[in-house]
Amino acid sequence: MPFSRRDLIRTGVAAGAAVSIPSVLRAQTAPSAARTARTVIGSGDLRVFDPIYTAATITNHHGAAIYDTLFSPDSKFMPQPQMVEKWRVSDDKKTYTFELRDGLGWYDGAPITAAGCVASIRRWGQVDSGGQLNLERTKDISRKDDKTFAIALKEPLGLLIDILASPLSSCPYMMREKDARLPPTEQVTANIGSGPFKFNEPLAKPGVSFAYDRNEKYVPRKEPSDGLAGAKIVNVDRFIWENIADEQTAFAALQAGEIDFLGAPPVDFYSVIEGDPSLNLQILDKTGSEVYARLNFLQKPFDNVKARQAMLHLIDQEAFVRVMAPNPRCGRTVTVFGSDTLYSNDENTGWYSKGGDPEKARQLFKEAGYTGEKIVILQPTNIAFLNHASQLLAAELRKIGVNAELAPSDWGGVVTRRANTGPIENGGWNIFITSGSGYSQGDTVGNVFFPANGDKAWVGWPKSDEFEALRIKWADVDALEARKGLARKMQNVWWDFVGSVMLGQTFWPIARRKNLTGLIGMPSIIPMWNMQKV
């Protein structure tokens, strides 16, 4: 049979139509573009789904979407009930009783019971430092009835409600009892929570995108939304997290309207965003990010307090802020409790001088007995602002005659090397620069920055018995004013023994299309509820 050109065209069109049918069908079942928000969160790729198994920021965002918490901080960072309807504490302050709200349920249809909360608190308590403190003080956590459970303490813990409300990773998310019974070193992969969003498993494309659908069964609180507390109202049908690894491409996608939200636009695009009438820059975390250098207390020269004090005087914070985040809102930071938290204060900050004091630093290094030994600075080359800060610090040290050497590697390499407690010749290090949410600086129990108990402390292994004695008291103080007083005393000691050196406060705005509104500005978590497309 002859096959004409017309037959060929007909066959081609028919084949094309046939192959296109699935996309047509898919389009009919997906929510409209106006009811779908596409975002690039900007904290890397979501690889682990269990927010207790890992403390990764991206997993904490995931946890906030699909799980709920007993308490949440409001916009003033005060804890407010979330899943809890009411709670009371006994007169001796040793027994806390919690009653859950009506109507709470898991996605799989089962009602939320107190047993799940008891198991969740126990699991979380094994990994989070606040949770560990809670478990240390706890005599028993018990279910009273389906909606009620109690925490009985061996001794009062004034910080208990604050710890339960902490949005920092690892956050105490409530999970099903069968999930929460797994050891924390084993991942929960079910993704069945009770939060305002449901994880859409069939649409999950690891490394590419994840979808979250509105949880129709979610019952919001009656109070208005306030920070992470109050009503969690979902205004879109679906949220899609895109993983666009390349910053330039992610920004181009935002410009073209292919995404609505970009978590961390590159600094050099700020002026382009401000000049684009369809885009907006917005700072969500009003407490900013505090950048600091950890000094290795176990190795020379920073085993000597004079050398650590020298670093305080060397740093020109304005210069560091300029190379890290050239944003006019960024500034100096002289408090260990974050520049904008409830406990920020100016105790013992006489060391600060605008522009730094290199001569004083040189003198202090000399007094520390520094004789030109190599000082290794870990340099994460794939994180721009930390990379720049490391280079500037090396240059500043060299200017005063210190033999500074950069140890470049990607973040993965830095994370491994920073755990090395050995001397330089065995792969050790002297200085490691990192950052944390300003809000987390107000959390002396949960933030790894604070412990100064030597080899039990976080990398750098700072040691000050005096500071530790004060830090341990923190958990027992429940009045805000009393905690503020304690914060001053702690800071006084901190700047004497120099647990870490602050490099400045930075703000990292998000970029969004102007039709995406209702974003909640809180530290640590980017809440997907409340947002809407107009």
Contacts with another protein, residue ranges (CB under 8 A): 16, 19-24, 26, 45, 47-48, 54-57, 59, 127, 129, 169, 184-187, 189, 205-208, 242, 244-246, 248-250, 252-253, 255-256, 258, 382, 409-413, 415-417, 419, 434, 436, 447-448, 458
Q: Which of 19, 479 has the CB closer to another protein? A: 19
Residue 208 CB, nearest approach to another protein (Å): 4
Residue 91 CB, nearest approach to another protein (Å): 35
Residue 340 CB, nearest approach to another protein (Å): 20
Q: Which of 208, 480 has the CB closer to another protein? A: 208
Alpha carbon separation from 128 to 264, 373, 416, 506 (Å, rounded): 27, 38, 21, 26
Number of Cβ within a 10 Å radius of residue 458: 17
Q: Where are the beta strands (DSSP E) in 271-384?
A: 279-282, 289-295, 375-380
Q: Which of 50, 357 has the CB closer to another protein? A: 50
Residue 255 CB, nearest approach to another protein (Å): 5
Q: Which of 368, 457 has the CB closer to another protein? A: 457
Q: Is 44 helix (H, G, I), strand (E, B) or coil?
A: coil
Q: Which of 184, 196 has the CB closer to another protein? A: 184
Residue type at 378?
L
CA 105 to chain centre: 27
Closest CA to 508 of 412, 336, 384: 384
Q: What is the rounded distance in angstroms from the CA atom of residue 470 to the CA atom of residue 508?
A: 32
Q: Is 494 helix (H, G, I), strand (E, B) or coil?
A: helix
Q: Which of 140, 410 has the CB closer to another protein? A: 410
Residue 293 CB, nearest approach to another protein (Å): 15
Backbone angles phi, psi at 243, to 5 degrees: -110, 90
Alpha carbon separation from 82 to 142, 262, 432 (Å, rounded): 20, 28, 38
Look up residue 124 and give its two tokens.
């979380």
User: Cis omega (within 30 of 0) on the bond before 301?
Assistant: yes
Residue 263 CB, nearest approach to another protein (Å): 15
Q: Which of 47, 374 has the CB closer to another protein? A: 47
Residue 446 CB, nearest approach to another protein (Å): 9
- Cβ-contact 149, 210 below 8 angstroms: no
